[in-house]
Amino acid sequence: MKNIIIAILTLLLCALAVRADKMSDYRAFADTVRADVFAEVPPGFDVKDIPAKYSGESAVVKAVYENINAKKKTGMGVGVGIVGLPSITRRARVEFGHLMRMLIHVNDKAALEKYSEFAFDTDDKRTFYKSYEKNRHTIGVRLIKPDGRIVDIDTSDFVEVEEGKKGDEKSRKLAVPGLEVGDDIDVFFFTETKLQNIHPDPVDFVLKAEAPILNYNIHCEIDDNLTTQYRTLNGAPDFTVGRDADNNYILDLELKDIAAKEPRLWYNSLQQSPRIMMRIFNRRNSESFTPKSAKKDGLQQNPDVNTMLEDRWDIDDAWLDKGAGYGLYYYGAFKDERKLTKALNKLAKDGTISQRQMADYIYNLLAYAYIGNRYSFDILDFAKAYKDFTKMFGVKMEAGLSSCDWHEPLDQLLNHKHNIYFMRLDGDTARYYFPPTGNPLIIAPGEISPHMQGREAVMWAKKKERKQSPLQFFTIPVTGTDANRNVTTLDVTVDNTMLGIRRSEAYRGSTKRSSSSLISLEDADKGYSSWLNRYGLNPVIKEKKKETADREERYADGRKEQVEAFKTEIESYHGSAPAEFIDGRITDIGIDPDQPDLCYDTEYRMDGYVKRAGANLLISVGKLLSEQIELLPTDRDRKDDLYIGNPREYLTVINLVVPDGYEVNAKSLEALKTSVKGKDASFDVEAEEGSGKITVTVVKQYLSPTVAIADWPEFAKVVDAANAWNSSVLAFERL
Amino acid sequence: MHTMARLLVSLGAAVLLSLSVFGKTPDDNVVVSKALDEYVFIAGKDGAEVRHSRKREYTATRHSASVKPHIFYNDRIRLDKASGGKMQYRDVNSPAVFHDDSKVCFFSLYLKAKDKKGTAEFRRTFLDAAHFTGVFVEDEYPVEEGTITFRIPPSMPDIYLVEENFPEQGIERSNGMDGDGWRVITYTISNLGKMPDDDSAPSALSSRPYISVRGYFTDIEAFYRYHAPLLAVDTALTEMPVDIGGADRPEIIERIYSFVQKKIRYVAYEEGEAAFRPDTPAETMRKRYGDCKSMSLLLSTLLNRAGIEAYIAIVGTNSIPWRIADNLSLASADHMICVVPDSDGYLFLDPTHVQISSRHIPSWLSGKDALVVVDGGFRMIDIPDVSPEESADVAEYCYVLSDGMLAGRAKRAATEDFAERLASALDAVPVQHRSAFLAKNLVPATRADIPVDSVSLAADIPGKICIEAPIVNTSAVIALDDVVYLDLNTTGDPFSSRIDISDRREDYKLPVSGRVVRRISVEIPEQHTVILPENFETSGPSVNLSCMFSQDGNTVTMTKTMELAGGIIALGDIPEWNKALAEWTDACNRQIEIK
């Protein structure tokens, strides 16, 4: 027994010693990095003065310095030899360091709060069979006081946080001591990464921020035995490239006075802010996927897009050519798959429905399987299944590739994961079947999500054909206002000082985005089931009795949540909560390709919109138009083009019943009429009286996917007109 | 400030869902079908400890569900055992706290169909019984049946239990004694609703069923002695950062108070002993931040250095339903302030708030008591429930009617608690958006234009903040054929929103007390006939509302006033509140006619 106790104590002491070693090792690492980083004065970090034009900024970034260091390493390990015996094998390793250092002038309390607290994990480790990724993170902070005094923040000011059962998951927090408005904060974040058989994460340099940047410097030192690919996007300047004595690639970039900040409105940072995407590979890696384009050491500056596309084709040629082997039975989503397959085959063979109708039907069938929560959604899986199913039922489809607007355009592709497959009927260049991407989740077959409209694309061709001639890029169509329209109809009655409102909404195309969250699981299930009940088919989701009961109980929860969602929608529409919510229901989930409108009705009462003026009434009719964007002074001072996405139209028809015993004042009716037209947007209001009611028709249009900054003043006039109309009043005089 | 929040987390009462009716509602899916909690007081090596064991059986009553059984622990509550699934152990800082030692142990439990059950079991030990201050009876799910048992040894005769906010049915207490003379107190629970999570509701301690554990501190002396060693920190300070030259006593107090309010950031840090021990004033000065304890100690130290008698004081804010003297428990105090004897009374200085003057008693302290730490001892004092300085939000618009619009000046002056709200909001706004933010706070309605670069802000006077700007209001004038209507109502007044009662099961807590006044005067051209709407006055629960119209020569004035008494609006009174507000809004919306 005594021996056991001694053994346990010895083990415990060893464990404590190892733990203490790890802690002291980390502290030594953090102290060394801190000393090394602060020993340097990178370009721009000696800036003392801030240009007067930035005196009104909350924070000014005096300098940013990013440093990437990547070294190829080779390790050894024990693997399985040719006859099953242990053998020594090679491990592809990379040592990777990423430093981000910033010197920020803190000009107000908002900036003080923003830059006064930091939290980070000290280390993390992931290990797999022959692979690992070990990260160590540290930060360093020092303050430069207005009198030039430098205050180093000691690591003793960091708070150690332990998580996990034994407290072995470490992180650190820092509330920066001594930081005051008027100080400069010099802060760096450094991550040291050791990788075995794993490639480094992609790096994205974004050369614009929410504060002005006076100096931005990037320095990369990358082993020439690694593969480095980078792409400059949105007007980002290129690196200057050199080699050092060890043949490492040296990439440098210096930018000065990045004044323009990312605007609050109509701006897509990923498509507009200058950025450089970079990927680094160790091609010797045997465990992780290495794209074909990366299988040669060296630097690839803005690599040829066809080469990068081959990375994607290389992965997908097989299923694009021969199919992924999906069948309805394999898919297992529906009851009586064989019967359903047979019926669909019959439809395909006897020509009862057209190729397009079959393509539409299969699209919704597949979407039903996913959206009914039967599978976790994956856009690549959807594309593969869609291709297989359409082929199975005789639909001639061709596959193409594009990218969403949160990734680089396809003709500037760098990352083979940044793309999305679509299908189109052979020779039909007007209709594209994209997998639903989530916003909105539910779309009609052939509807093109706003994130894909106007994006570059290519159609897939067999390898042999690709070799003969490069693929031709084309642009996914940008649909017009007809395809991206929101029609709002309000029937309004006056009840003392309340307005009774019945509002119907129909959203199509890109306008669906804001409303799709109202659709409950029950609406989606019933909508798909109802639409798919055609051509003599009636697909039913396969589920056990218990699952059916479970789903129906969930419907009850969904209905309750939907009431709250409708209340939120009403508050968002008018800018104030309803006095009374009466009803709200989805009438069409918008999956019929011939009538793709997402429709719902809602009924409620609003107060505060009827004002007594002696014997007369004033109605705040402007509040019956959805809340319009109000431009702030900082929005008006704009330097960037506007990213609208795609043209769209908002049509609002207000039918206001003239209250008994009153007549409308003609002057106030006339005053509602407005027309502001520009090249890229318009706002029109017509108003008329007839059949005991006032009908006001409001049309707001965005006519272009983008607006040049030169046209911003004209565009802003339209926005202002719409906003001003929100306070319009209609007078009714007592008879 | 957040010690109480931390205690609540420790007691496992945080982050729970809605509804408060007793018993399960039709919407509830998961219930706790069996709940067993046992708290055993024992004599530990360093004093009294409490061992807590918890068992829960969860049942899905309508459909499959995932639940996350969990228990909280920290440096003073040791987690001894957790079973039922694959446990995870995480930090759970409250968002308002930079760092504390609260941790949660939890696991995922999937109830795969209706009527499926799953169980969880936890054991933990309160290493210092002083921190075992009470138990919330409700769970995050409705409890069908359960017991909470307390076992108290004969050696702890002073410990006793007090029931707070118990419903008329659903919880029964029974008292017993075992063979060893231990008191065994059991609460039997049947069909108890779940703990709600509603920010607008009164605090959980004020409204939810709670078993208050009392008697650990037998008298106020013992309560003081517990805190005293933790408050004994070095107050040496080499610098006097505030220029007090030439100032009289009130001015010195204001200057020093203002320095700590504005130059020291409030950062809550509550790990272990640090939850009770302030930083030294020198350390707080170095860091330029501190929690309520550190800021109060720095403030009192600086005042002492300036020759002014000042002390730190332990207080409970109004989220706690008891005064310290009425319940000698750590649960009765969650904050620290600085108290300054002044004339025949005291000043109650809370430096964690930026824009409150020394003469104002903030609403979160009024009516409470304070344990003032004086040299080598303590003094209990009452905090008056009426502040000498009122909180008000007064906006005045002085217009001239001309060319179919109103033009003039707008001025909004907020004092004390209202000033604090405005100042805190302003601090969070980046300087480049500040003028727009201020203009927005002056605009009475849309289409009222305020030139952003002409907005002035005055926030130098403690307890006051004032915004002023020229204004042109184009939406207030409606000219018909032979009459002009003036709409003088302002919109967006604070606290004037209706309270949604459609699914509400909780009382409503008004966040502030004070007066909101909007006075709009218009000078109209001569020789016009003016018809004023009738004056209006009404009262609702905790509120008086009025809208008065008057004419003085060519100037017409509308004054709308909301007097908020603060406190709680009972659930049943909320319709009356909504009705009073709706009538007031209608009355204020009536137009002035000019012919």
CATH number of B3-214: 2.60.40.3140
Please judge whether A618 and B485 are an interchain contact, meaning their C-beta atoms are less than 8 angstroms apart: yes
The pair of three-digit structure tokens given for residue A452, joined into one six-digit string: 């894909």
Residue B14 has pLDDT above 50, yes or no: no
Domain boundary among A285, A300, A315: A300
The closest CB to that of A178, out of B27, B286, B478, belongs to: B286
Task: Please report the pLDDT score of residue B578 as a whole number.
Answer: 94
- Give the DSSP letter string of B276-296: TSPPPHHHHHHHTEE-HHHHH
> Which element (helix H / strand E) includes A86?
strand A86-106
Report pLDDT digits (tens) over B75-107: 999 999 999 999 999 998 877 788 888 999 999
Contact (Cβ atoms closer than 8 angstroms) between residue B345 and residue B396: no
Residue A1 domain-assigned (yes or no)? no
Residue B14 structure tokens:
């945080």
Q: What is the tens place of the pLDDT at every residue in A253-280? A: 999 999 878 899 999 999 999 999 999 9
| Out of A630, A632, A667, closest to residue B481 by CB | A667
With contact defined as beta carbons under 8 Å apart, do A474 and A599 qualify?
Answer: no
The pLDDT value given to residue A200 = 96
Contact criterion met (CB < 8 Å) for A611 and B590: yes
Q: In the predicted model, is pLDDT for residue B19 greater than 70?
A: no
How far apart CA A720 and CA A342 sit, in angstroms, is 59
Q: Is residue A474 part of a domain?
A: yes
The residue out of A580, A596, A621 marking a domain boundary is: A580
pLDDT digits (tens, 9 = 90+) for B541-586: 999 999 999 999 999 999 999 999 988 999 999 999 999 999 999 9
Spell out where A536-597 has E strands: 580-588
Neighbour tally for B47: CB within 10 Å: 11
DSSP H or E stretch at residue A270:
helix A269-272
Contact between B89 and A733 using a beta-carbon 8 Å cutoff: no
Q: Which amino acid, one-letter code, is at A592?
A: D
Q: What is the mean pLDDT of residues B175-195?
A: 96
Cβ of A544: how many Cβ atoms within 10 Å? 9
Is the pLDDT assigned to residue B241 strictly greater than 80?
A: yes
The C-alpha atoms of residue A724 and residue A718 are separated, in whole angstroms, by 10
Of A80-89, B218-227, B391-400, least confident by mean pLDDT is A80-89
User: CA torsion B232→B233→B234→B237, rounded to 10°?
Assistant: -120
- Structure tokens of A576? 């104030």
Q: How far apart are the first and last CA of chain B?
A: 58
Q: Which of B63, B103, B286 sits opposite A177 (nearest CB)?
A: B286
Please indicate whether, in this complex, the C-beta atoms of A175 and B487 are within 8 angstroms of each other: no
In chain A, residues 139-168 whose CB comes closer than 8 Å to chain B: 157, 159, 161, 163-165
Question: What is the predicted pLDDT for the residue at B21?
Answer: 35
Q: Lowest mean pLDDT: which of A8-17, A470-479, B202-211, B267-276?
A: A8-17
How many structural domains are present in chain A? 3
Same domain, A319 and A199: no
Q: Domain holding A668: CATH number?
A: 2.60.120.1130
Same domain, A522 and A415: yes
Nearest to B121 by CA among B77, B88, B83, B76: B83
Whether residues A252 and A316 share a domain: the answer is no
Please name every residue paired with A174 in a beta bridge, in sequence order, or none if there are none.
A118
Nearest to A561 by CA among B139, B18, B142, B23: B18
Selecting from 3.10.620.30, 1.25.40.340, 3.30.360.10, 2.40.37.10, what CATH number does the domain B222-382 have? 3.10.620.30
**What pLDDT shows up at residue B181?**
96
Q: What pLDDT, in 10s, does the model give residues B332-349? A: 999 999 999 999 899 999
| Residue written as token pair 């409606």 | B478
Please indicate, yes or no, whether residues A727 and A630 belong to a single structural domain of this protein: yes
Phi-psi region at A509: left, alpha or beta (left = phi > 0; alpha = psi -120 to 50) = left
Query: Tokens 């169980």 label which residue?
Result: B119
Beta strands in A107-206 (DSSP E): 117-121, 123-127, 132-144, 150-152, 159-163, 169-175, 184-196, 203-206
The reply to whether A57 touches chain B by the CB within 8 Å rule is yes
pLDDT of residue B9: 37
Residue A9 is predicted with a pLDDT of 46
Distance CA A256, CA A65 (A): 12
| pLDDT tens sequence across A569-607 | 999 999 999 999 999 999 999 999 999 999 999 999 999
pLDDT at A13: 45
Give the other-Cβ count within 10 Å of A666's Cβ.
13
What is the DSSP code string of A109-121? HHHHHHTSEEEEE
Average pLDDT score over residue span B209-222: 96
A171-181 pLDDT tens trace? 899 999 999 99
Find out whether B172 and B188 touch, Cβ atoms under 8 Å. yes
Residue A56 with chain B: CB contacts under 8 Å = 431-432
Torsion of CA A540, A544, A545, A549, to 10 degrees: -80
Q: Do B103 and A163 touch (CB under 8 A)?
A: yes
Domain for residue A186, yes or no?
A: yes
Q: What is the SS3 assignment for A637?
A: coil
H helices within A332-477, ranges in order? 337-350, 355-369, 379-392, 463-468
A532 and A620 co-located in one domain: no
What chain A residue is nearest to B429 in terms of C-alpha separation?
A: A110
B405-460 confidence digits (pLDDT tens): 999 999 999 999 999 999 999 999 999 999 989 998 998 766 678 888 899 999 99
Residue type, position B231, single letter: L
How many angstroms separate the CA atoms of B5 and A563, rounded?
32
Pick the residue from chain B with its C-alpha nearest to A117: B98
Q: pLDDT band at residue B5, thresholds of 50, 70 and 90?
A: very low
What pLDDT digit, counting tens, does each position of A314-339 carry? 999 999 999 888 776 566 788 888 88
Mean pLDDT in residue range B289-314: 97
Q: Report the amino acid identity of residue A101.
A: R
Sequence-ordered list of residues with C-beta below 8 angstroms from that of B37, at least 6 positions apart, any chain: B52, B53, B54, B55, B135, B146, B147, B148, B149
A549 touches B: beta carbon within 8 Å: yes
Q: Is the backbone peptide bond immediately before A659 cis, with ω within 30 degrees of 0?
A: no
Q: A610 vs chain B: nearest CA distance in angstroms?
A: 8
Q: Which of residues 576-595 of A touch B (CB under 8 A)?
A: 576-577, 579, 581
Judged by CB atoms closer than 8 Å, whether chains meet at A550 and B114 is answered as: yes
Query: Is A236 inside any structural domain?
Result: yes
The minimum CA-CA distance between A99 and chain B, rounded to whole Å, is: 26
Question: Are residues A543 and A401 both part of a single domain?
Answer: yes
Q: Measure in Å the smallest separation between the Cα of B178 and chain A Cα atoms.
A: 36
In a domain, A542, yes or no: yes
Identify the residue with better confidence: B211 or B28.
B211
- Give the model's pLDDT for residue A16: 46
Residue with more model confidence, A474 or B95: A474
C-beta separation of B351 from B257 below 8 A: yes
Which among A107, A614, A632 has the least Cβ separation from residue B431? A107
Show the tokens assigned to A690: 């007839």
Reported in sequence order, the residue ranges of A484-574 that DSSP labels E, i.e. its strands, are 485-495, 498-507
- Of the candidates A108, A556, A611, the beta carbon closest to that of B589 is on A611
Verify whether the Cβ–Cβ distance A178 to B99 is below 8 Å.
no
Q: What is the mean pLDDT of residues B277-296?
A: 96
Helices vs strands, H then E, count in chain B: 9, 39
User: What residue type is assigned to position B200 of the chain?
Assistant: S
- Helix, strand, coil shares of chain B, percent, nearest 5, are 20, 40, 40
Kind plus residue range of the DSSP H or E element containing B524: none
Judged by DSSP in three states, B357 sits in: coil
On whether the CB atoms of residues B129 and B216 are closer than 8 A, the answer is yes
Distance, in Å, from the CA atom of B363 to the CA atom of A193, rounded to the nearest integer, reads: 52
Report how far residue A447's alpha carbon sits from residue A453's, in angstroms, rounded to the nearest whole number.
Answer: 10
- The correct CATH number of B392-594 out of 2.60.120.1130, 3.40.50.2300, 1.10.760.10, 2.30.110.10 is 2.60.120.1130
Range name among A646-660, B18-32, B147-161 with the lowest pLDDT average: B18-32
Residue B56 vs residues B34, B144, B146, B355, B442: alpha-carbon distances, Å: 6, 11, 9, 47, 54
CA distances to A126, A167, B55, B71, B147 from B88, rounded to whole Å, are: 18, 11, 18, 11, 27
Residue A257 CB neighbours (<10 A): 13
Among chain B residues, CA nearest to A668: B480
- What token pair was written down for A188? 């760096």
Same-domain pairing of A557 and A702: no
Domain range summary for chain B, segments of one domain joined by +: 3-214, 222-382, 392-594
User: Which residues, including other chains, have CB under 8 Å from residue A30's CB and lie 6 or more apart?
Assistant: A122, A138, A140, A155
- The answer to whether position A195 is within a domain reads yes
pLDDT reported for residue A197? 93
Give the number of other CB atoms < 10 A from CB of residue A369.
23
A residues 613-652 near B, CB within 8 Å? 613-614, 616, 618, 630, 632-634
Mean per-residue pLDDT of chain B: 91
Same domain, A586 and A469: no
Nearest to A730 by CA among A667, A650, A674: A667
Q: Are strands B143-152 and B30-44 parallel, antiparallel or unpaired?
A: parallel
Q: At what angle do helices A355-369 and A379-392 cross, to 10 degrees?
A: 140
Tell me the pLDDT tens digit for each residue of B252-279: 999 999 999 999 999 988 877 778 899 9
Taking the C-alpha atoms of residue B341 and residue B137, their distance in angstroms, rounded to an integer, is: 41
Mutate to test the interface with A, among B59, B62, B437, B478 (most CBs of A within 10 A): B478
Are both A559 and A638 inside the same structural domain? Answer: no
* pLDDT value, residue A329: 59
Name residue B164's beta-bridge partners.
B210
Q: Are residues A281 and A329 in the same domain?
A: no
Q: Is A550 on the interface with B (CB under 8 A)?
A: yes
| CB-CB under 8 Å, A180 with B288 | yes
- Give percent above pLDDT 90 in chain B: 80
Q: Tell me which residue range forms the domain holding A33.
A: 7-300
Q: Which amino acid is at A597?
A: D
Q: Give the type of residue at B551.
A: Q
CB atoms within 10 A of CB A265: 12
Does any domain span residue A2? no
* φ and ψ at residue B2, rounded to 5 degrees: -110, 15
Q: Is residue A205 part of a domain?
A: yes
Question: Which of A161, A577, A613 faces B593 most closely, judged by CB atoms?
Answer: A613
* Whether pLDDT at A91 is above 50: yes
B534 sits in the region (left: phi over 0; alpha: psi -120 to 50; else beta) called beta
Please give the interface size between A and B, counted as residue pairs whose CB atoms are below 8 Å apart. Answer: 153
Distance CA A638, CA A648 (A): 23
Distance (Å) from the alpha carbon of A285 to chain B's nearest alpha carbon: 34
Please tell me if residue A494 touches chain B, with a CB cutoff of 8 Å. no
Same domain, yes or no: A325 and A474: yes
pLDDT in tens, B350-375: 999 999 999 999 999 999 999 999 98
Do A233 and A320 share a structural domain?
no
Query: What value does the mean pLDDT take over residues B55-76?
Result: 95
